[in-house]
């Protein structure tokens, strides 16, 4: 990966932040922007080979995680991808209950579970998923796109879960 263009930005990434020397044609930099945490959501549309290539290219940029990198039906793909990159992997759609979560957790295939509260069996269902994920050191970042009531419930849920990461 030669560079990353963030829309609306008139500045370059600071190469010092990524362990590189500044180039002579480097434009202005914004250190506060470079320290921003980024998550890339691929919506499960990449083939496994492209997801592996993308994950490897993102490694020097220190993304928080790569979300739904490839088709989530095959848990083996995530396990293989996870073993090939240090970029953390997250998954949203494939985990709707504790049984489905366990399939990913046993293979050490993911680093973040992003199941929305409303689609993960509610507070009690997602709490079971969170408890299992905690034993595998997997973070929980429930997606909060279901409106203000779901967001408020997510905040309440976050206060009771030790492996909560972000909402």
Alpha carbons 7 and 67: distance in angstroms, whole number? 20
- pLDDT single digits (tens) 25-81: 777 777 776 667 778 888 888 888 888 888 888 887 778 888 888 876 677 888 888
Measured between alpha carbons, how far is 59 from 74 in angstroms, rounded to an integer? Answer: 23
3-state secondary structure of 159: coil
Helical (H) or strand (E) element with 49: helix 48-58
- Strands 39-41 and 65-67 come out as parallel
Neighbour count for residue 122 (Cβ, 10 Å)? 12
Structure tokens at 122: 């509610």
Q: Report how far residue 32's alpha carbon sits from residue 98's, in angstroms, rounded to the nearest whole number.
A: 38
- Rounded to an integer, the average pLDDT of 108-120 is 85
Evaluate whether 121 touches 96 at the Cβ level (below 8 Å).
yes
What pLDDT score was predicted for residue 1? 45
Q: What was the pLDDT predicted at 7? A: 45
């Amino acid at each position: 990966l030669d560079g990353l263009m963030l829309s609306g930005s008139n500045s370059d990434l600071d190469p010092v932040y990524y362990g590189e020397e500044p180039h002579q044609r480097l434009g202005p930099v914004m250190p506060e922007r470079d320290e921003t945490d980024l998550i890339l959501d691929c919506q499960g549309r990449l083939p496994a080979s492209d997801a592996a290539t993308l994950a490897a290219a993102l490694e020097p940029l220190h993304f928080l995680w790569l979300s739904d990198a490839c088709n989530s039906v095959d848990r083996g793909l995530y396990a293989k991808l996870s073993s090939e990159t240090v970029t953390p992997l997250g998954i949203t759609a494939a985990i709707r209950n504790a049984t489905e979560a366990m399939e990913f957790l046993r293979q050490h295939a993911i680093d973040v579970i992003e199941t929305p509260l409303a689609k993960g069996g509610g507070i009690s269902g997602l709490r079971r998923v969170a408890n299992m994920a905690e034993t595998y050191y997997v973070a929980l970042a429930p997606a909060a796109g279901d409106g203000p009531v779901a967001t408020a419930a997510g905040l309440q849920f976050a206060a009771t879960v030790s492996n909560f990461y972000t909402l």
